[in-house]
Amino acid sequence: MEEALVRRQSKVHSRGLKARTGNEFYHIAKLIDFSATAVCQVVMAVLSECKNLRSSVSRAALTCIGALTQNMKAKMDVELDKLCTILINKAGDVSNAFIREDASEALEKVVKYASASKALQSIIAAGSKSKNNTIRASCAGFVGTLVSRVGAPVLLASTDQLARLIPQLIAFCRDANAQVRMHGKQILVGLSQVGRITTIKRRFRIFYRKM
């Protein structure tokens, strides 16, 4: 399998990844359980094609990333930082609605199938400080989905996760963009309904006075 992958990569880099090749990667991703080494090689090859100037190639690569994540699940965790950085920026691409939609669909699969805690960290790191309103709003929305997936009781029981998450939610609530603020407040309201919100209030009393 890995020899076949190396041959495929050699062919890809020698003549450029065309849309047909991107679709081949997509079908491979759906069918094959790669080793950890092969995952790294495939992800690097496909992510490079997400930046391809040909939209058909870029879209095929984005679709492939989604299929890889769906198939590999937690085995993709080690690649999530690089993966989310590219996907979140593509999801904010206002110049091409099709690429934006494909990137968002790939991110939805990351949110659904990768390890939730790692995906949460990677998506926040990739998009929370962007100057692009669309990217920040997308980031905040996916954070909300991940918080729902993990579950408020689990998050509130983890001091470390809570210490990282709440300041980011506060930043969302203070964001200049209305959609980002909406997502941030919705997440905080969801957490507040679990019963340990008094703990959060004690830690972030100043913020709650300003809400």
Indicate the number of domains in the chain: 1
Give the residue from 180, 111, 109, 199 showing the smallest Cα distance to 147.
Answer: 111
Q: What is the CATH number of the domain that holds 119?
A: 1.25.10.10
Average pLDDT over residues 112-134: 93
The number of beta carbons lying within 10 Å of the beta carbon of residue 108 is: 17
Per residue in 131-183, pLDDT (tens digit) is 999 999 999 999 999 999 988 888 877 778 888 888 999 999 999 999 999 99
pLDDT at 159: 78
Q: Express each pLDDT in 170-203 by its tens digit.
A: 999 999 999 999 999 999 888 877 655 555 555 5
What does the pLDDT look like over 22-71, one tens digit per residue? Answer: 455 555 555 555 565 677 888 888 899 998 989 999 999 999 899 889 88
d(CA 41, CA 2): 10
> Which residues, at least 6 apart from 55, have a Cβ–Cβ distance to it below 8 Å?
96, 98, 99
Task: State which residues form the domain around 96.
Answer: 1-209
Number of H-type helices and E-type strands within the chain:
13, 0
132: its two tokens: 């692009």
More confident residue, 125 or 27: 125
Helices (H), 73-174: 80-90, 97-113, 116-127, 133-150, 152-157, 159-173
